[in-house]
Structure 1
Amino acid sequence: MASSLKPEKIYNVFLSFRGVELRRNFVGHLYQALIRNGIHTFRDSEELKKESCIAIIVFSKDYAASRWCLEEVAKIMECKEQGNLTVLPVFNKVDPREVREGRESYRRALDKHESKFGKDSDKVKGWKEALFNAGSLFGWHLNDGDELKLIQEIVKWISCHLDRTPLHVAKHPVGIESRVVMLKSTLNLESNDDVVMVGLWGQGGIGKTTLAKALYNSTFRQFEGSCFLANVRETSKGCKDLVTLQEILLKDTLLLQEILEVSSVDKGIDIIRRRLGRKK
């Protein structure tokens, strides 16, 4: 498989934050916990590492006062839009509405930036848009007394997320990259409105499964959850086998540590509809 379809990740997690106090306390403790769990993490960089899988933004009261942090969050959200990054905000004693709507300390900080760069500055508009988008994401809230529990939750979530590894594909299948690009354009991955299906048809042995795996490897990190079900026809001949497939689908897509037991096919359909209906 061509290397451009799945560049190897050098770092797993990038931490964006502001302040010496955070570095010494929450961010420092989170960093050490991630490292102890074998998750390659970095906190400082002149530019955001494109190889990272996950960016954690720790929003604090004074985050928006830093031009450096605003440039960072803009770059992070740009990478997210390109499908190269998963973004997790942590709201450190700050309401998400302050971040996304520019309230309180964020309003004061942005007013100062507008005074310097101009109210119609594209730079400031870009920062505001990035803050709005990041502040609208699912995230965690850090309040007094729950730091250890929160760090454990974050490490557990990231560990599960990073377990979503690429599938094995033959090293250099001829012409596969151009076919993956064509299929990706058909899927319209930027849309959040539609459920899209595409069928691969042809006689056995021509590379349909290889192409499907390559497409999966090229796109799975753009989704909140993903699952590759192989040999469905052979493993779904009875109701029990269908239930097994449903359980695998739920476990992989929801990043569960253990199988969620499904009692029947109908029950599985209901659980899938409820648990996956709002996920991309």
Structure 2
Amino acid sequence: MAYSSQISGIKYDVFISFRGTDTRHGFLSHLKKELRQKQIDAYVDNRLESGNRISLSLVRAIKESLMSLIIFSKDYASSRWCLEELVQIIECMVNQNQIVIPVFYNTDSSDVRHQKGFYDAAFVKHDKNYKEMVPIWKSALNKAANLSGFHSSNCENEAEPELVEVIGKCLSTRLDIMFQSDLTGLVGIDQKIADLESLMNQGSEDVRVIGIWGLGGMVKTTIATAVFNRFHSEYEGYCFLANVREESENHGIMYLKNKILSILFEEHDLHIGTPNGMPPHVKRKLLRKRVLLVLDDISGSDQLEILVGAFDCFGCGSRIIITTRDKQMLAKGVDKIYEVKPLMFDDSVKHFYVQFL
């Protein structure tokens, strides 16, 4: 059974535990922007800490997250709120195999592990007021600090953007691996996915357009989705536009064109009124971006022309993948065509069975 089907009630990709006074308006704001860009759904409590006990809604958010990211800053342990969060996170790690990743922000992992320095000073105060909780909090800190994570002795300099980028890429990769089993391991298509990956030639800096052609119900979308999930985090912009045939009938092709550009540029409600080609300012921006774009179920060359034009407005290294039932539509401007051949009868039956488990 696929990984995602083994868990219920999951609403967020990652829960972020942090000390607001240390990180809210600096490091955290940059991290949130990076995660939005990578389309990672992060739960961040935007309220200032109030009271000593975390709310039930916050406990629920921790349990409803696939991963937790703990930003250990100098003042983290001074907050009972943060320590209560940490205990809940460690419990989720133990009881539901939640992935937990620590970030040591301007603090040393040994200080967190053994409660030294700022952490020692914090527990001197906690010993007076919350003596019964101190052993529990110290145990949680020790377990979290022993996990593999990210270290920076000085995140307030020019190295911070690089650290944020590395964290974002790590989380994206972890999520892709978690859900890869939803789209691979299906009987008879693993080799087809590998074939498409080969055609993408990831190391090449040219703009490559790949068509996936086959009759209806021949797992074209499944193959494109698996490849998109595996590689999208390596691109500066990415978009999977599903069901173009149906969506075009329901909303119009210009709606889809604007949707693609809004996603690639991360701008809400971007409106391009010209069906032919791209306006100069849009083309200029696209030429600077390395993008991965999947257009699923294209039914005509006119749709393709309006959505992407002549493929001459994408940055170096970009990849455009098109799935279609119409091979003739792929005759112009497409570098490689991958024909999805029917599964063997036994594999088809097994594939049908797996889909409905």
TM-score w.r.t. the length of structure 2 is 0.45
C-alpha separation in 2, matches of 1:163 and 1:4: 15
C-alpha separation in 2, matches of 1:132 and 1:42: 24
CA 1:96–1:230: 2 relative to 1, 3 Å:
farther
Matched, 1:90 2:103: yes
Matched, 1:125 2:138: no
C-alpha separation in 2, matches of 1:60 and 1:23: 11
Provide the residue aligned with 2:314 in structure 1.
none
Give the drift of 1:166: 6.2
Give the drift of 1:95: 0.6
C-alpha separation in 2, matches of 1:4 and 1:38: 21
Residue pair 2:22, 2:74 contacting (<8 A) in 1 also: no
Matched, 1:137 2:138: no
Residue pair 1:61, 1:93 contacting (<8 A) in 2 also: yes
Q: Residue type of the partner of 1:83?
A: Q
C-alpha separation in 2, matches of 1:6 and 1:166: 15
Q: Residues 61-80 of structure 1: matches in 2 within 5 Å?
A: 61-80=74-93
* Runs of 4 or more consecutive aligned structure 1 residues displaced over 3 Å after TM superposition: 1-5, 166-169, 227-231, 255-258
- Aligned residue for 1:159, secondary structure, equals helix
C-alpha separation in 1, matches of 2:94 and 2:31: 26
152-161 vs 17-26, which deviates more?
17-26
Provide the residue aligned with 2:58 in structure 1.
46
CA 1:97–1:230: 2 relative to 1, 3 Å:
farther
CA 1:35–1:167: 2 relative to 1, 3 Å:
same
Provide the residue aligned with 1:156 in structure 2.
169
Give the drift of 1:91: 0.5
Provide the residue aligned with 1:9 in structure 2.
10
Q: Which runs of 5+ in 2 are unaligned?
A: 46-56, 192-229, 235-357
C-alpha separation in 2, matches of 1:94 and 1:113: 20
Matched, 1:22 2:34: no
TM-score w.r.t. the length of structure 1 is 0.57
Residue pair 1:48, 1:75 contacting (<8 A) in 2 also: no
Q: Residue type of the partner of 1:46?
A: L
What are the superposed Cα offsets for residues 16-67 of structure 1, whole Å, 9 maximum, x if unpaired? Answer: 1112351111111101110121111121163251121111111111100000
CA 1:167–1:8: 2 relative to 1, 3 Å:
farther
Q: Which runs of 5+ in 1 are unaligned?
A: 170-226, 236-254, 259-280
CA 1:114–1:229: 2 relative to 1, 3 Å:
farther
- Aligned residue for 2:12, secondary structure, equals coil
C-alpha separation in 1, matches of 2:109 and 2:22: 21
Residue pair 1:10, 1:52 contacting (<8 A) in 2 also: yes
Give the drift of 1:136: 0.9
Give the drift of 1:230: 7.0
Provide the residue aligned with 2:204 in structure 1.
none
Matched, 1:114 2:136: no
Provide the residue aligned with 2:206 in structure 1.
none
Q: Residues 246-265 of structure 1: matches in 2 within 5 Å?
A: none
What are the superposed Cα offsets for residues 82-113 of structure 1, whole Å, 9 maximum, x if unpaired? Answer: 13411111111111000010111111111211
Q: Residues 199-238 of structure 1: matches in 2 within 5 Å?
A: none
The CA RMSD measured in Å over matched residues stands at 3.2
Q: Residue type of the partner of 1:127?
A: W
CA 1:230–1:95: 2 relative to 1, 3 Å:
farther
What are the superposed Cα offsets for residues 170-209 of structure 1, whole Å, 9 maximum, x if unpaired? Answer: xxxxxxxxxxxxxxxxxxxxxxxxxxxxxxxxxxxxxxxx
Q: Residue type of the partner of 1:102?
A: Q
Give the drift of 1:114: 1.2
Provide the residue aligned with 1:105 in structure 2.
118
Larger radius of gyration: 2
CA 1:230–1:131: 2 relative to 1, 3 Å:
farther
CA 1:134–1:228: 2 relative to 1, 3 Å:
farther
- Say which structure is richer in strand: 2
Q: Residue type of the partner of 2:148?
A: F
CA 1:21–1:116: 2 relative to 1, 3 Å:
closer
CA 1:117–1:8: 2 relative to 1, 3 Å:
closer
